[in-house]
Amino acid sequence: RKEVEQDPGPFNVPEGATVAFNCTYSNSASQSFFWYRQDCRKEPKLLMSVYSSGNEDGRFTAQLNRASQYISLLIRDSKLSDSATYLCVVNLRTGGFKTIFGAGTRLFVKA
Protein backbone atom coordinates (compact mmCIF):
# COMPACT_ATOMS: atom_id res chain seq x y z
CA ARG A 1 0.00 0.00 0.00
CA LYS A 2 1.34 3.44 -0.90
CA GLU A 3 1.93 5.84 1.98
CA VAL A 4 -0.11 8.56 0.28
CA GLU A 5 -2.87 7.62 -2.13
CA GLN A 6 -4.94 9.90 -4.32
CA ASP A 7 -7.77 9.61 -6.79
CA PRO A 8 -5.88 9.05 -10.04
CA GLY A 9 -8.22 11.11 -12.21
CA PRO A 10 -8.29 12.62 -14.64
CA PHE A 11 -11.25 14.74 -13.69
CA ASN A 12 -12.90 16.47 -16.63
CA VAL A 13 -15.29 19.21 -15.51
CA PRO A 14 -16.99 22.21 -17.12
CA GLU A 15 -16.24 25.75 -16.04
CA GLY A 16 -18.18 26.67 -12.95
CA ALA A 17 -18.37 23.14 -11.61
CA THR A 18 -17.44 22.07 -8.11
CA VAL A 19 -14.88 19.28 -7.89
CA ALA A 20 -13.46 17.39 -4.92
CA PHE A 21 -10.23 15.45 -4.58
CA ASN A 22 -9.48 12.91 -1.91
CA CYS A 23 -6.26 11.68 -0.39
CA THR A 24 -5.51 9.06 2.25
CA TYR A 25 -2.30 8.52 4.17
CA SER A 26 -1.16 5.45 6.03
CA ASN A 27 1.34 6.71 8.61
CA SER A 28 -0.20 7.95 11.84
CA ALA A 29 3.04 9.87 12.54
CA SER A 30 2.10 12.29 9.78
CA GLN A 31 2.18 15.79 11.21
CA SER A 32 1.61 18.35 8.50
CA PHE A 33 -0.37 18.26 5.31
CA PHE A 34 -0.48 20.26 2.10
CA TRP A 35 -1.93 20.49 -1.35
CA TYR A 36 0.48 21.45 -4.10
CA ARG A 37 -0.39 22.30 -7.65
CA GLN A 38 1.77 21.35 -10.63
CA ASP A 39 1.21 22.71 -14.10
CA CYS A 40 2.39 20.75 -17.12
CA ARG A 41 6.20 20.76 -17.34
CA LYS A 42 6.50 23.09 -14.37
CA GLU A 43 7.56 22.73 -10.76
CA PRO A 44 5.12 21.96 -7.91
CA LYS A 45 3.89 25.01 -6.05
CA LEU A 46 2.16 25.21 -2.70
CA LEU A 47 -1.59 25.68 -3.06
CA MET A 48 -2.51 25.54 0.60
CA SER A 49 -1.71 23.93 3.90
CA VAL A 50 -4.31 21.73 5.52
CA TYR A 51 -5.33 22.19 9.13
CA SER A 52 -7.40 19.98 11.39
CA SER A 53 -10.05 22.66 11.68
CA GLY A 54 -10.35 22.92 7.91
CA ASN A 55 -9.33 26.00 5.99
CA GLU A 56 -10.51 28.00 3.05
CA ASP A 57 -8.73 30.20 0.54
CA GLY A 58 -11.12 31.80 -1.90
CA ARG A 59 -12.65 29.05 -4.03
CA PHE A 60 -10.50 26.36 -2.39
CA THR A 61 -11.35 24.47 0.79
CA ALA A 62 -9.11 21.89 2.41
CA GLN A 63 -10.10 19.49 5.15
CA LEU A 64 -8.24 17.00 7.31
CA ASN A 65 -9.67 14.06 9.20
CA ARG A 66 -6.93 12.62 11.40
CA ALA A 67 -9.08 9.79 12.71
CA SER A 68 -9.70 8.49 9.20
CA GLN A 69 -6.30 9.66 7.90
CA TYR A 70 -7.99 11.47 5.08
CA ILE A 71 -7.45 14.82 3.36
CA SER A 72 -9.68 16.54 0.85
CA LEU A 73 -9.60 19.52 -1.49
CA LEU A 74 -12.73 21.17 -2.80
CA ILE A 75 -12.65 23.61 -5.70
CA ARG A 76 -15.75 25.69 -6.28
CA ASP A 77 -16.64 27.60 -9.44
CA SER A 78 -13.86 25.94 -11.47
CA LYS A 79 -11.89 28.12 -13.88
CA LEU A 80 -10.00 27.10 -16.99
CA SER A 81 -6.84 28.14 -15.16
CA ASP A 82 -7.46 25.51 -12.48
CA SER A 83 -6.45 22.81 -14.97
CA ALA A 84 -3.38 21.20 -13.43
CA THR A 85 -2.23 18.22 -11.37
CA TYR A 86 -2.99 18.46 -7.66
CA LEU A 87 -0.53 16.75 -5.33
CA CYS A 88 -1.37 15.66 -1.81
CA VAL A 89 1.68 16.01 0.44
CA VAL A 90 2.35 14.64 3.89
CA ASN A 91 5.26 15.49 6.18
CA LEU A 92 6.38 12.96 8.75
CA ARG A 93 8.47 13.96 11.72
CA THR A 94 9.79 10.71 13.13
CA GLY A 95 13.23 11.71 14.34
CA GLY A 96 13.95 13.16 10.94
CA PHE A 97 11.95 14.89 8.28
CA LYS A 98 10.25 12.92 5.58
CA THR A 99 8.09 14.40 2.85
CA ILE A 100 5.86 12.12 0.85
CA PHE A 101 4.06 13.22 -2.29
CA GLY A 102 0.99 11.53 -3.65
CA ALA A 103 0.97 10.59 -7.33
CA GLY A 104 -1.33 13.50 -8.11
CA THR A 105 -4.77 13.97 -9.55
CA ARG A 106 -5.14 15.59 -12.96
CA LEU A 107 -7.89 18.12 -13.46
CA PHE A 108 -9.10 19.42 -16.81
CA VAL A 109 -11.56 22.29 -16.75
CA LYS A 110 -13.31 22.84 -20.07
CA ALA A 111 -15.16 25.83 -21.44
Residues that bind other proteins in the complex, under the rule CB under 8 A: 31-32, 34, 42-46, 49, 51, 87, 91, 96-104
Nearer to other proteins, 23 or 78 (CB): 23
Q: To the nearest whole angstrom, how small is the minimum distance from the Cβ of residue 80 to other proteins?
A: 23
Q: To the nearest whole angstrom, how small is the minimum distance from the Cβ of residue 3 to other proteins?
A: 11
Q: For residues 17 and 29, what is the distance between their CA atoms, to the nearest angstrom? A: 35
Task: Name the H helices within the chain.
Answer: none
Q: For residues 79 and 61, what is the distance between their CA atoms, to the nearest angstrom? A: 15
Nearer to other proteins, 27 or 32 (CB): 32
Q: To the nearest whole angstrom, how small is the minimum distance from the Cβ of residue 16 to other proteins?
A: 30
